[in-house]
Structure 1
Amino acid sequence: MSAKDYVEKDYYKVLGVPKDATAAEIKKTYRKLAREFHPDANKGDAKAEERFKDISEAYDVLSDEKRRKEYDEARSLFAGGGFRPGGAGAAGGFDFGDLFNGGSPGGGGIGDVFGGLFNRGGRQAAQPRRGADVETEVTLNFEEAVDGATVPLRMTSQAACRACAGTGAKAGTTPRVCPTCVGAGTVSRGQGAFALSEPCRDCKGRGMIVDDPCTVCHGSGRASSARTMQVRIPAGVQDGQRIRLKGKGAQGERGGQPGDLYVSVHVDPHPVFGRKGDNLTVTVPVSFPEAALGGTIEVPTLNGPAVKLKLPPGSANGLTMRARGKGATRKDGTRGDLLVTVEVTVPKHVTGEALTALEQYREATASDDPRAALFKAAEGA
């Protein structure tokens, strides 16, 4: 990229972040925009593809602390408004070409200084580039979320073209070293201790020239790659949780590290059990005699044998008991508890001896008004 581009392009505006944005804010905004304008999500949309390139270019500069500092320094030199693009005949204006070339074919202008700012040292080989982060989703059933599971994930990302092994050249041919930049991908011009370094126009910064392009990637060396990988989802994962798998994203370029894979987890509900943090929940119906007299009740557990709990006499509807160690698996391998809520059931139809017994019970407890305390409290209010 030329120094002129550094001065004219506002990468903060491209990403829509303030100039004092933190690295985390820049990364978060980039991910959101990258998902929105990614070519895979906007096939055939040239504008979206161009927007994606601008976003990626801006992120490449602003995500690197050193490059961001140099970019800010370069733009600050023109913050006062003393220089403006335009022809030499414009009122009060300067020709940007003259400004950077020193007004003469021999150079010696500000561009020479910027060469030191942008590339310090002149010609350099193309640098490794980290692969892009990839985001995907997975849906687990309730048991898989509690105990953990290994699931297959199919992902599509940019990787080295398989047809040409990333060279960009058609099978049976090989690219040649660019004679202009001698494989560096950049060219320098200027004089003295400073030089302006720009991407080589002949090889477009790749350092190699492809005479017979690959028919699959059309000479770019990159192509969409679909792959299926087995991913282990840890036990105890919760609905809506986002898991990061380091190094499982898109492949890097020129030996760069791969990106990361982010998996958003969705959990299907269970017909019997619920979840409250590391604890599981279940509602167990009990009869009126069991609630009144107490006793031992059996309670189902998730993927395990039933447990027996002692129900105390006079148990009210909504009472919660605890079966320890029967909940969800924690990160340290221990398990939470099973929270058992009592639901007293009332029969819809009562006949025979049961009806007679209930009538007798009602007569025996007629003097006990369960609503007496309610009315007393209401009158006191």
Structure 2
Amino acid sequence: MAVEADYYELLECERTADDATIKSSYRRLAMRWHPDRNPGDAEAEHRFKTISEAYECLKDPQKRAAYDRFGHDAYKQGMNGGGGGPGGMGGGAGFSDLGDIFETIFGSAFGGGGGRQQQRRGADLRYDLEISLDDAFHGKQAEIEIEVAAKCEPCDGSGAEPGTGTRRCNLCGGHGQVRAQQGFFMVERTCPTCHGRGEVIEKPCRSCRGDGRVDSPQKLDVTIPPGVDTGTRIRLAGRGEAGPFGAPSGDLYIFIHIRRHSVFERDGTNIVTRAPIAFTTAALGGTIAIPGLDGKTIEVEIPAGIQNGKQLRKRGEGMPVLQGRGRGDLVIDIMVETPTKLSAKQKDLLRELQATETGDECPQSKGFFNRLKEAWEDLTD
């Protein structure tokens, strides 16, 4: 014969525990073992039923006194006053207490008190806006056009034909919620007739057909601040989808995308460009001019002997800092270009230069070939 678990042990309480301690322990365990938190777990469902049965008994002073004196036999012999179990309802916990727990777990969709559903704000919307790097540098005013569910003007978003009104929902009695018993506990759901409003429209508006919203094209001005980058998000409060039946509108989020530039690349607040220079400029040094995004010409000094791949930097010539002060840097990647079209005279001059070379002019090349020579000698020894 199976031994039935002690109610106090099920609720993890001492037999001398007061009512507040028992209730607190039950709430904690019920939240832990509730089937909706443990879907498909048969053991969790069984634990939830047993602790609910235990609490239904111990929360009632008379039932608790009978249980303390006779144990489980008090109910097997009908000593609980004919309830068919500790709860008088087939062993389930009291609905008011379960309602408190459901509300803690799931929010106001469940709960013992009922009441109309709060107004649901309209949905937030997203708009992707592509701009040039120059626009990102200077900032701009952009006009966009979107189609959005806006408040119906004839009915002012109520959904009711002008001159008519609403009446209390017969199904939920104006509460916006209906109750249904599922197994051993009661569940509250949004009323399917009034959708939580607690009232229904007598005569739907002909313009919006009772929805309170109509699709409408909207033209909006968007301020693009200097320094924006791809992924920057601009929020226009209240410019999203209108809420149902006059509820507040959602927000519109503008996501910025920067078009590829023909000369510059963006790297945070820095601007990067590749500058090919003649090998004579690389050898002798010189100056190159780069047009900046601000319209100014930026002069860059090329030091003599600069190597291919070297980076030069002009401080404060990059992108503006978004919502801040200062600018990033202009970074120049140097590309030393070898000439491909030489005149006869130029070739003669280069041969003269080549004839005077000692190897010390290009220390990296000299060092590389010296290492090759040493490696070859080691192999042939």
Q: Does TM, normalized by the shorter one, top 0.5?
A: yes
Q: 1:343: which partner in 2?
A: 335
Q: Give the gaps of 5 or more residues in structure 1.
A: 1-68, 84-101
CA RMSD of aligned residues (A): 4.0
| Residue from 153, 163, 166 that aligns with 1:176 | 166
User: CA–CA distance in 2 between the matches of 1:362 and 1:229?
Assistant: 67
| Residue from 292, 307, 316 that aligns with 1:316 | 307
User: What is the correspondence of 1:88-237 to structure 2 with a 5 Å cutoff?
Assistant: 122=113, 124-170=115-161, 172-178=162-168, 180=170, 184-186=175-177, 199=190, 203-237=194-228
Q: Retained in 1: the 8 A contact 2:33–2:45? A: no
| Percent identical | 30
Shift of 1:244: 4.8
Task: Please tell me the residue identity of whatever aligns with 1:377.
Answer: R
User: CA–CA distance in 1 between the matches of 2:359 and 2:187?
Assistant: 101
Q: 2:283: which partner in 1?
A: 292
User: CA–CA distance in 1 between the matches of 2:349 and 2:209?
Assistant: 88
Kindly tell me: are residues 282 and 374 of structure 1, through their superposed partners in 2, closer, same or farther at Cα, counting changes over 3 Å? Answer: same
> For residues 307-365 of structure 1, what are the alpha-carbon distances to aligned partners after superposition, in whole Å with 9 as ceiling and x for unaligned?
22222111222222112211011121311111122222333222254333222212222
How many residue pairs get aligned? The number is: 287
Q: Retained in 1: the 8 A contact 2:128–2:257? A: yes
SS of 2:228's partner is coil
1:373 aligns with 2:367: yes
Kindly tell me: are residues 356 and 277 of structure 1, through their superposed partners in 2, closer, same or farther at Cα, counting changes over 3 Å? Answer: same
User: CA–CA distance in 2 between the matches of 1:109 and 1:139?
Assistant: 59
Q: What TM-score comes out, normalization by structure 2 length?
A: 0.61
Task: Please tell me the residue identity of whatever aligns with 1:347.
Answer: P
Q: Retained in 2: the 8 A contact 1:74–1:114? A: no
Q: Retained in 1: the 8 A contact 2:167–2:202? A: no
1:80 aligns with 2:45: yes
Shift of 1:373: 1.4
Q: 2:80: which partner in 1?
A: none
User: CA–CA distance in 2 between the matches of 1:154 and 1:356?
Assistant: 65
> For residues 143-179 of structure 1, what are the alpha-carbon distances to aligned partners after superposition, in whole Å with 9 as ceiling and x for unaligned?
1223333323333444433343212223x43222326
Q: 1:276: which partner in 2?
A: 267
User: CA–CA distance in 2 between the matches of 1:155 and 1:146?
Assistant: 25
User: CA–CA distance in 1 between the matches of 2:112 and 2:45?
Assistant: 28
Q: Give the gaps of 5 or more residues in structure 2.
A: 1-29, 50-87, 104-109, 376-381
Larger CA deviation: 305-314 vs 258-267? 258-267
Q: Retained in 1: the 8 A contact 2:34–2:45? A: no
Shift of 1:210: 2.3
| Residue from 359, 362, 369 that aligns with 2:354 | 362
Q: Retained in 2: the 8 A contact 1:145–1:235? A: yes
Q: 1:26: which partner in 2?
A: none
Q: 1:43: which partner in 2?
A: none
User: CA–CA distance in 1 between the matches of 2:351 and 2:373?
Assistant: 31
SS of 1:304's partner is coil
SS of 1:355's partner is helix
User: CA–CA distance in 2 between the matches of 1:345 and 1:143?
Assistant: 29
Shift of 1:200: 5.0
Q: Retained in 2: the 8 A contact 1:284–1:341? A: yes
Q: Retained in 1: the 8 A contact 2:270–2:319? A: yes
> For residues 80-106 of structure 1, what are the alpha-carbon distances to aligned partners after superposition, in whole Å with 9 as ceiling and x for unaligned?
2588xxxxxxxxxxxxxxxxxx98xxx
User: CA–CA distance in 2 between the matches of 1:294 and 1:113?
Assistant: 85
Q: What TM-score comes out, normalization by structure 1 length?
A: 0.61
> For residues 172-211 of structure 1, what are the alpha-carbon distances to aligned partners after superposition, in whole Å with 9 as ceiling and x for unaligned?
4322232646755347899xxxx98665565443333323
> For residues 268-296 of structure 1, what are the alpha-carbon distances to aligned partners after superposition, in whole Å with 9 as ceiling and x for unaligned?
11111112221111222322322211223
Kindly tell me: are residues 159 and 110 of structure 1, through their superposed partners in 2, closer, same or farther at Cα, counting changes over 3 Å? Answer: farther
Shift of 1:257: 4.7
Task: Please tell me the residue identity of whatever aligns with 1:274.
Answer: E
